[in-house]
Amino acid sequence: MSISYTLRESFSGFRRAKISSLLSIITVCISLLLLGSFVAITVNAGRLVDALRARLEMEAFLVEPATEGEIDSLVTAVSSLRGVENVLFISKDDAVRIFKQEFGEDITTVLDFNPLPPSLKITLTPQYRTSTGTQEVYDRLVAMRGIESVVYRKALLELIDKRAAGLNKVMLTLGLIISLSAIFLVSNTIRLAIRAKQSLIQTMELVGATRGFIRLPFLLEGSVQGLCGGLLAAALLAGLLGYGARLVSAEFAPYLRMAPAFYGGLVCAGILLGFAGSIISVVRFVRPVAAH
Amino acid sequence: MISFSHVAVVYDSHRVLHDISFKVEPGQFVFLVGQTGSGKTTLLRLISMDILPTKGIVTVGKYSSRGISPRELPFLRRTLGTVFQDFKLMGDRSVFDNVAFTLHVTGTKGTEIKKKVMHTLADVGLTHARNMRVQELSGGEQQRVAIARAFVHNPLVLLADEPTGNLDPGTSAEILQLLFDINTRGTAVIMATHNYELTRKAKQRILRLEEGGVRQVEKA
Ligand SMILES: Nc1ncnc2c1ncn2[C@@H]1O[C@H](COP(=O)(O)OP(=O)(O)OP(=O)(O)O)[C@@H](O)[C@H]1O
Ligand SMILES: [Mg+2]
């Protein structure tokens, strides 16, 4: 079988069946657009929630007075707790400076003395940034000698947990619906393609063409259609997300950006969809069946 | 070369052929006659093994309906050429591409394909229409494309199913002459027809299908 013939056949497929080729490309594009926006939304919503959780630190106030040695061993002990990522010691003087930054007033001139206790700013590892995880670390901290009290934004954390769980449920349902619609869309186009090509394939077989000879141009044609659909979907989605990023505030814009790998994935998914679609449409060959 | 031995075909409990036996030797010309619905197309489909017999054995060259595998089918069919009753042309391609397809299938070189196709198109008088799409041709012209596609590769046997079905008497005679010419070059021809006028004047062998059986018509 000659390669140039196969290539020529694959590409003349577009010329011969412009509408059906366009339909396949659009179908792949729409399916990927749905799937791609869904993935983009899910990934970015997750990133947004994670960023929010990362901001919620715990603060442990120390018993006064504390010697440098006591503080050092306390920092080491807290650092080695499971779930703790980072510990930052805030001395009484540091606390005054931070207070001034936040409220614009020097508390020592207002009160004549420094009422702010030294403290530890504790960041948790990502897995522990939930209300149960934080509670676990909280319980350990308050039990430690040298720690007076521990505060964190418990109510906010619980709210985030609840909303995130709800979001996951919605996304799971939505993902299922979108995947099913994509499969339905593509398989429907495939069924039409089968019907359109069945008699052509049958004729080719009767004239003595082998299966490989018949299939290869169709598979190539389908893959190229998938590639076109994938490229189109990637371009549209990139444009859409770019436009969206300009609409929201600068703080949220990064959450509408997707990695190049995502767009590469979309294009690959398109090729795969086109290839799989054409396989299904040509695999149903007519075998010699004995009249019974 | 072609042999039918006690062949029967039953379609969904409707018996079309029963106990058919005959042989066709290389280079022979055979008319296959019979009323509409008598099973002429069915018999030709048995030869290209598009259907297999319910009973009995069909052998074509070294292939037998008993033992043939799907893999071997294309190779059997390349030794045949078929003019289908409904043409089965690829309507979205040019006349040239339709005829060339039979040669592409066997991996023939491009320059050779061009030469053979142009010769064959000249034989059927369609040189001028080579770049037209099949859909744009008249019924008679399509019939000639179908014939060209069936013998461009010099098959051992040409199966022609009503090749004069859509033609006026003059053109029918021309087509028949074309088939005789192809036959003189060594290709065996089996032509199904219900045009009795054509067969009455000819001196070729005639097989008549009647009530599911086959009867050899002896010429005086
Ligand atoms: N695929 C099929 N399934 C069921 N019955 C069929 C099938 N093909 C043909 N038949 C029946 O078999 C009989 C013979 O059909 P066939 O096409 O072989 O006749 P024919 O001699 O070629 O007729 P015509 O001269 O009209 O072309 C007819 O009664 C037809 O209805
Ligand atoms: Mg018929």
Span A206-252, pLDDT tens digits: 999 998 888 888 889 889 999 999 999 999 999 999 998 888 888 88
Check whether the bond before B169 is cis (ω within 30° of 0). Answer: no
Least confident of A36-50, A58-72, A109-123, A188-202: A188-202
What phi and psi, each to the nearest 5 degrees, are found at residue B214? Answer: -120, 140
Rounded CA separation A272/A35 (Å): 14
Q: How far is the CA of B149 from the centre of ligand 1 (A)?
A: 24
Tell whether the model's pLDDT for residue B5 goes beyond 90: yes
Q: What ipTM does this complex have?
A: 0.91
Q: How many residues does chain B have?
A: 220
A208–B104: do the CB atoms touch at under 8 Å?
A: no
Q: Considering chain A, what percentage of its residues have pLDDT values greater than 90?
A: 39
Q: Is residue B199 part of a domain?
A: no
DSSP character string of A164-231: HHHHHHHHHHHHHHHHHHHHHHHHHHHHHHHHHHHHHHHHHHHTT--HHHHHHHHHHHHHHHHHHHHH
Q: Supply the residue whose CA is at minimum distance from atom 17 of ligand 1.
A: B41
Q: What per-residue confidence (pLDDT) applies to A291?
A: 38
Tell whether the model's pLDDT for residue B179 goes beyond 90: yes
Choose among A24, A38, A6: nearest CA to A230.
Answer: A24
Q: Is residue B108 part of a domain?
A: yes
Asked if A2 reaches chain B (Cβ–Cβ under 8 Å), the answer is yes
- The DSSP secondary-structure symbol of A117 reads P
A207–B77: do the CB atoms touch at under 8 Å?
A: yes
Classify strands A119-124 and B2-11 as parallel, antiparallel or unpaired.
Answer: unpaired
- Ligand positioned closest to the Cα atom of B160: 2
Rounded CA separation A219/B119 (Å): 33
pLDDT in tens, B115-161: 999 999 999 999 999 999 999 998 889 999 999 999 999 999 999 99
C-beta of residue B83 within 8 angstroms of C-beta of residue B147: yes
Residues 125-144 of A with CB under 8 A from B: none
Pocket test for ligand 1, best of B10, B14, B194 (most atoms within 8 A of CB): B14
Q: Supply the residue whose CA is at minimum distance from atom 29 of ligand 1.
A: B37
pLDDT band at B217 (very low <50, low <70, confident <90, very high): low
Q: Is residue B105 part of a domain?
A: yes
Asked if A292 reaches chain B (Cβ–Cβ under 8 Å), the answer is yes
What phi and psi, each to the nearest 5 degrees, are found at residue A120? Answer: -115, 130
pLDDT band at A289 (very low <50, low <70, confident <90, very high): very low
What is the rounded (10 degree) CA torsion for B104, B110, B113, B118?
130
Q: What per-residue confidence (pLDDT) applies to A284?
A: 60
pLDDT in tens, A56-97: 889 999 998 878 888 899 999 999 999 999 999 998 888 889
Q: How far is the CA of A276 from the centre of ligand 2 (A)?
A: 38
Instruction: State how far residue A192 is from chain B, nearest Cα, in angstroms.
Output: 17
**B5: phi > 0 → left, psi -120 to 50 → alpha, else beta; which?**
beta
Q: What per-residue confidence (pLDDT) applies to B143?
A: 92
Q: Is residue B43 part of a domain?
A: no
Instruction: State how far residue A287 is from chain B, nearest Cα, in angstroms.
Output: 7
**How many Å separate Cα B179 from the centre of its chain?**
10
Rounded CA separation B147/B178 (Å): 9
Interface test with A, best of B92, B94, B111, B133 (most A CBs within 10 A): B92
B70–A288: do the CB atoms touch at under 8 Å?
A: yes
Q: Is residue B189 part of a domain?
A: no
Boundaries of domain holding B108: 86-154
How many H helices and E strands in chain B? 7, 11
H helices of chain B, in order, are 40-47, 73-78, 95-105, 110-123, 139-151, 169-184, 196-201
Ligand 1 pocket (Cβ < 6 Å) reads: B 11-12, 14, 16, 34, 36-42, 85, 194
With contacts defined as CB-CB under 8 Å, which chain A residues touch B55? none
Q: Considering chain B, what percentage of its residues have pLDDT values greater than 90?
A: 73
Q: How far is CA B56 from CA A158, B19, B40, B77, in A?
A: 81, 8, 17, 20
Mean pLDDT of chain B: 91
Q: Supply the residue whose CA is at minimum distance from atom 2 of ligand 1.
A: B11
Number of domains in chain B: 1
Q: Is residue B128 part of a domain?
A: yes
Q: Is residue B1 part of a domain?
A: no
Tell whether the model's pLDDT for residue A281 goes beyond 80: no
Q: Around A248, how many Cα atoms within 13 Å sit in the side-chain half-sphere? A: 12
Tell whether the model's pLDDT for residue A287 goes beyond 60: no
pLDDT band at A5 (very low <50, low <70, confident <90, very high): confident
Tell whether the model's pLDDT for residue A288 goes beyond 50: no
Nearest CA in chain A to B151: A207
What average pLDDT does this structure show over B12-31? 92
Mean pLDDT of chain A: 87
Choose among B202, B80, B147: nearest CA to A208.
Answer: B80
Tell whether the model's pLDDT for residue A47 goes beyond 60: yes
What average pLDDT does this structure show over B204-217? 81
Q: Is residue B209 part of a domain?
A: no
pLDDT in tens, A19-28: 888 988 999 9
Choose among B45, B47, B150, B70: nearest CA to A210.
Answer: B70
Tokens 């979205």 -> residue:
B92
Amino acid at site B201: K
**How many Å separate Cα A113 from the centre of its chain?**
51
pLDDT band at B73 (very low <50, low <70, confident <90, very high): very high
With contacts defined as CB-CB under 8 Å, which chain A residues touch B68? 288
Rounded CA separation B103/A186 (Å): 35
Structure-model confidence comparison of residues B3 and A96, the more confident one: B3
Q: What per-residue confidence (pLDDT) applies to B219?
A: 53
C-beta of residue A21 within 8 angstroms of C-beta of residue A14: yes
Rounded CA separation A222/A279 (Å): 8
